[in-house]
Chains A and B, each alone.
Chain A
Amino acid sequence: MTAYLLRRSLQALLTLFVISLILFGLISSAPGGIMSAYAENTDMTPEDIARLRAKYGLDDPVPLRYVKWLGNTLRGDWGDSLVSKRPALQEIADRLPNTMLLMGVTLLATLLIAIPLGILSAIKQYTWFDHFATTLAFAGQSLPVFWFGLLLIIVFSVTLRGADGRPLLPGSGMSSLGEPFSVADRIRHLILPVTMLAFVSAAGYMRYLRSSMLDVIHEDYVRTARAKGLRERMVIYRHALRNALIPLVTLVGLDLPSLFGGALFTETIFAWPGIGRLYFNAALKTDYPVVMAVLVIYSGLIIASSLLVDVLYAALDPRIRLG
């Protein structure tokens, strides 16, 4: 087990190294270069830009720049945003709590919708309920998520009005302007973005759980449980459900990095000040240090979570041996 962990961790580091190499190469070869953000600034003369290029070492060959970048990054200096001039890591840290709130609530809502629906659908296979739930899930998986967000705004923030004539639900931001912070207000602002995300991701979870439950129901040990006279409830909840939920570890585990990356579309559409929106704005303004920092951290989290999932899976399911 220790040897396995060691090998996988080394592999993970190597993967992350290669990814950072590719991303750095890509970004530093970008046409217009890192300075293109300044090129539009009319206050700057070509001499100013040349001086900045020299200051940031942009005239060095790319491999040398990569080594410098790697050294700085490992020491915790991820560069400054070209737009705000603040450290890229600081920009990320400022947005992280907002994204984690949004994505945490979404994950919770997804599980609360998908687990009961998936199980019921499997137990009641081929009934009208099953057909209804699977059709809905199919639709959810085919929905362009940003368009769904626009529809939600049209219906709940534009068309429907509350008793006071204001929009029924806020379609933008984290809190109402000019009002003191309140939990109720925050929750009202969470409803639409969470609905947008949870509907689509619950669709995938639900289909996955349904099929995993169906697999388990036809296993021998479930038949044995029935044969020894256990009540159906006991068979389902005690024996079948426990094993059917194991694959859920994979799903949730692989979704964990999104607690960092958030939802690009949702945060852009609902003006949610999280990492997704930060990244979108950085890409618009070709703010390379921020783009690079978000990409590398996000990739690292994805690699770490897939390692975590494999280890957890082996811990939960004794039939699986790591090697």
Chain B
Amino acid sequence: MPETLFFFLWQRFRKHTPALLGGLVVVLVILLVAFAPFFSRYDPYQQDLLNRFSPPSAEHWMGTDDLGRDMWARVLFGGRVSLSVGILAMSVAIFFGSFIGLVSGYYGGWIDSILMRITEIFLSIPRLFVLLAMGMYLRALDLPNVQAGSFVPLSIVIGALSWMGTARLVRASTLELREREYVQAARALGAGDARILLQHIFPNVASPIIVSATLGLAGAIISESGLSYLGFGVQLPTPTWGNMLSNTQNQMTTAPWTAIFPGLMIFIVVIAINYLGDGLRDALDPRHIAGKK
């Protein structure tokens, strides 16, 4: 067997059964929503007013909603939006967080002071409340509610309010790395800042970035679903796991299934991602002994 880095990491990772299971679930859900039309005979937008609120059955195995739409089809297509928002928001947060963390830790001095003050400012605003205000703003903008694409500004907003943890983590690692001998050697050989940052420091802060990307994905999915649930995120009729739950509180006595399945999907995906992130942390961070923390 080849003794490569990835082989070594895989050896550590596969001992973490919940993480393996979590990864498997994530892959399965991604396949399900990506190939949604193959798994559902119904159109998620097709109303059937004669079949409103039909309980789960062989025909509609998650039942139908208040407009007679098939819940399973909406859960699959809603998953596309929820996961896309999650991935896009996470990418924005990771990009900003890594960039600010690297620059802050590497250059130090007044650049570091200013960037860390900005980080503190972002940490001092009530995140959910400001997300809601931004949602209000986006709603007032009245963007054309194209079925694909309307979630992009929302994802950017969620990402722009979620980068601070990553920035602090990356900064701490960078501070430590820039004093290492190999970095000094590279500098002595005449490497410029950009080269040192990208070629020598960045690969070594990849582990904390991967871990916070995983946990950030779970957080972004929760944020989107919460905002859309409150009516400030992705707007109907485009389904997401969050906005499918929006009106269910009035339907709970007659059709409790409408309130159960979309939330169950969020829960399953988020817990799977969190276990995956836990396993990755154990595998990637040698100082972190499995199970100790």
| Bound form: Cα–Cα A40–B110 in Å | 49
Contacts of B253 in A (CB 8 A): 158
Contact of B271 with A by CB under 8 A: yes
Cβ of A245 under 8 Å from chain B:
no
Contact A295 B133, beta carbon cutoff 8 Å: yes
Contacts of B263 in A (CB 8 A): 144, 147, 150-151
When C-beta atoms are compared, the residue in chain A nearest to B223 turns out to be A144
Decide: A30 near B140, CB < 8 A? Known: A143-B267, A150-B245, A302-B124. Answer: yes
Residues of A within 8 A of B133 (CB): 23, 26-27, 283, 291, 295
B162 at the interface (CB under 8 A from A): no
With A31-B141, A153-B252, A295-B133 given, is the CB distance from A18 to B274 under 8 Å? Answer: no
* 0 or 1 for each of B253-271: is its CB under 8 Å from A? (1 = yes): 1001001101110110011
Is A3 among interface residues, defined by CB-CB distance under 8 A? no
A144 touches B291 (CB 8 A): no
Question: Could you tell me if A298 and B126 are in contact, using CB atoms closer than 8 angstroms?
Answer: yes
Give the distance in Å from the alpha carbon of A153 to the alpha carbon of B117 in the complex.
43
**A211 and B129 contacting across the interface, CB-CB below 8 Å:** no
Partner of A294, one of B129, B137, B142: B129
Complex contact B252–A154 (CB within 8 A): yes
Whether a CB of chain A sits under 8 angstroms from the CB of B293 is: yes
- Residue A79 CB within 8 A of the other chain: no
Nearest Cβ distance between residue B13 and chain A, in whole angstroms? 18
Which one of B136, B141, B225 contacts A144 once the chains associate, using CB atoms below 8 Å?
B225
Q: Which residues of A contact B262 (CB under 8 A)?
A: 147
Query: Interface size (A, Cβ < 8 Å)?
Result: 49
- Write out, one digit per residue, whether chain B residues 107-140 have a CB within 8 A of any chain A CB (1) or not (0): 0000000000100110011101110111111001
Looking at A188-196, A227-235, A263-271, A311-319, the stretch in contact with chain B turns out to be A263-271
**Given A211-B293, A261-B126, A18-B136 contact (CB < 8 Å):** no
Contacts of B135 in A (CB 8 A): 283
Cβ contact within 8 Å between A284 and B271: no
Whether A154 pairs with B260 at a CB distance below 8 angstroms is: yes
Total count of chain B residues near the partner, CB < 8 A: 47
Encode contact with A along B230-246: 1 for CB under 8 Å, 0 otherwise: 11100000000000010
**A158 engages B252 (CB within 8 Å):** yes
Residues in B with CB closer than 8 Å to A15 are: 117, 120-121, 124
Q: Main secondary structure on chain A at its contact with chain B?
A: helix
A15 to B124, CA, bound (A): 8
A36 at the interface (CB under 8 A from B): yes
Asked if A303 contacts B292 (CB within 8 A), the reply is: no
Within the complex, the shortest CB–CB distance from A299 to chain B, in Å, comes to: 5
Nearest neighbor of A145 in chain B, beta-carbon distance: B226
Residues of chain A from 293 to 313 with CB closer than 8 A to chain B in the complex: 294-295, 298-299, 302-303, 306
Q: Is A261 a contact partner of B291 (Cβ separation < 8 A)?
A: no
**Stretch in A59-67, A70-78, A134-142 with 4+ CB within 8 Å of B:** A134-142
A16 to B126, CA, bound (A): 12
- CB of A111 closer than 8 Å to a CB of B: no
Residues of B within 8 A of A294 (CB): 129
CA distance A33 to B221 in the complex (A): 30
Tell me how far the C-beta of B55 lies from the nearest C-beta in chain A, rounded to whole angstroms: 14
The yes or no answer to A323 lying at the interface (CB within 8 A) is: no
Contact partners of A162 in chain B: CB under 8 A: none
Judge whether B140 and A303 touch: CB under 8 Å.
Answer: no
Q: How far apart sit A211 and B132, CA to CA, in the bound complex (Å)?
A: 33
**Contact in complex: B136, A295 (CB < 8 Å):** no
The docked-state distance in angstroms from the alpha carbon of A150 to that of B274 is 23
Contacts of A150 in B (CB 8 A): 245, 248-249, 252, 259, 263
Q: Of A31, A141, A280, which one neighbours B140 at CB under 8 angstroms?
A: A31
| Chain B contact residues, CB within 8 Å of chain A | 117, 120-121, 124-126, 128-130, 132-137, 140-142, 218, 222, 225-226, 229-232, 245, 248-249, 252-253, 256, 259-260, 262-264, 266-267, 270-271, 274-275, 278, 291-293
27 A-B pairs with CB atoms under 8 Å apart are A15-B121, A18-B121, A19-B124, A19-B125, A23-B125, A23-B133, A31-B140, A142-B271, A145-B226, A147-B225, A150-B249, A150-B252, A150-B263, A151-B259, A151-B260, A153-B249, A154-B260, A158-B252, A211-B292, A214-B292, A214-B293, A280-B230, A284-B231, A291-B133, A295-B126, A295-B133, A302-B124
4 closest A-B pairs (Cβ-Cβ)?
Answer: A147-B263, A142-B271, A211-B293, A142-B270
